[in-house]
Homo-oligomer: A and B are copies of this chain.
Amino acid sequence: MSAAQTQLAWDTMLDLGGPAGSPLHRRLAGALRAAIETGRLAPGAMLPPTRLLAEELHCSRWAVTEAYEQLTAEGFVEARVGSGTRVRAVPRAATLAEHARDARAAAGIRYDITPGMPDLAAFPARDWMAALRTAITRATAEDLGQPRWGGHQRLRDVLSGYLARVRGAATSAASLRITTGIADGVGLTGAILYRHGFRAVGVEEPCWRRLPRVLAASGLEPVPIDVDADGLDVDALASKQDVRAVLISPCHQYPTGVALSPQRRAALLEWAQRVDGVILEDDYDSEFRYDRPAGGALQAAGPAHVFLYGSLSKTLAPALRLGWLVCPPHWSGEMRGDALAPYTPPTLDQLAFAAMIQSGAYDRHLRRQRVRYRRRRRLLLDLVGTCLPGVRVSGTAAGLHLLLHLPAPVNTAAFTSRARDAGVSVMTLGSLRSVDVACDDALVIGYGNVADADLPGIVRTLADLLQSSV
């Protein structure tokens, strides 16, 4: 008989409280499990014989036997014939470490205003939970099998209708594929284009660097095309003889924030038709437009030549890993799953998104967020106007980021590194270019995931740094 068994009073050691109404054997198993996990019952310790423990706890012997069997099945204890039940040596779960936060704290970063994140504190947890409940309640046994490649029919139906009414997209369930995000969809398209003889693809300069990398991984050479105040320079694109595909964010260019002008839109579609080319439309944040209703997707005007990509990463949370693409009808047959094809998101998440659209909760959330972001943008612009004289602002009409152009003598890259030392993590426009351009740099400020209350402190820090820079 081990020390553990003789020295401990089992009825005081085991907290049998548990959730009201849960059976005693389950509460007993839980209490023993907790005792093992916290180390109160050490590896090698013997559990008392079932008869003795039942007496001590004033319960049936069956309840104790049942609890021991459960813990044996779980691997916490092992029973040997003739020698009782003993606690196994089990590694304890490590204390949870919030690694990223630690890393940030270690680097002394108080404020992260790099772009790319929506307001994660405003994640509509209750709406998402309710949508998941609907999804799980309605799921058939078949829905729980292998997800169908390209997405569940219900989400494809519902999302197709949504994109038509909100983005004006020319879409149908047949031309829609559910992906794990925009990069996933772009990579899938890149692989198909490569198989069809495409070797180069125009990309905006500057742009979100990940997408050219994804296309390069498919074998396509990214060819930078400059962006000016009217968006992508379509003449420059047309002058590249070997380029018949282009990746573009026409509604709100990332990161400059300009919109493709109506003339350029027309010219781009005309180009696509002339060269029998394809346009990859990155529709990453057009849910958030502040000055007027969001412009319709380019895809609406040229569905035969435009692939349209969107995701939940800016509207709900990147953690959900859910996105979509609309492909031109005559490419639809190519968009099939195979062993190498990207992965289809979990079915219940897909059905939850469908339920959230159908209940209206998704639209309501977006409307709330537009109000929230508009207010935050206003606050930020006011602070910049007051505290940062000489700083020009651009790219404010939409989305979750804007540009701050520092006065001429200031080296923006050097400023960024000093800002980081002062606890503000911020990104430069230059870092989103494929080549170094000394002039015309700017700060790219993401205000999506910043608390309103932090904005004054952030702008003051930048103002102090600026004052000591000029």
Contact = CB atoms under 8 A, between A and B. Distances in A.
A373 to B, nearest CB: 14
Contact of A145 (B173, B217, B317): B317
A344 interface: yes
A409 B325 CA distance: 53
Nearest to A350: B319
A267 to B, nearest CB: 27
A429 B97 CA distance: 48
A90 B363 CA distance: 16
A199 interface: no
Contacts of A172: 91
A321 B136 contact: no
A278 to B, nearest CB: 21
A449 to B, nearest CB: 7
Interface string A145-183: 111100001100110110011100000110000001001
11 contacts: A73-B370, A93-B157, A93-B161, A93-B358, A94-B157, A100-B148, A121-B141, A125-B137, A146-B318, A319-B346, A321-B344
A91 B136 contact: no
A412 B74 CA distance: 40
Interface string A132-143: 110011011111
Given A92-B161, A94-B173, A132-B132, A348 B364 contact: no
A111 interface: no
A177 to B, nearest CB: 15
Contacts of A363: 70, 73-74
A120 interface: yes
Interface in A335-386: 339-340, 342-349, 358, 360, 363-364, 366-367, 370
- Residue from A33, A70, A319, A367 with most neighbouring chain B CB atoms (10 Å): A319
A98 B165 contact: no
A132 B139 CA distance: 16
Nearest to A317: B144
A290 interface: no
A434 B187 CA distance: 32
A320 interface: yes
A173 B364 CA distance: 40
A366 to B, nearest CB: 7
Contacts of A415: none
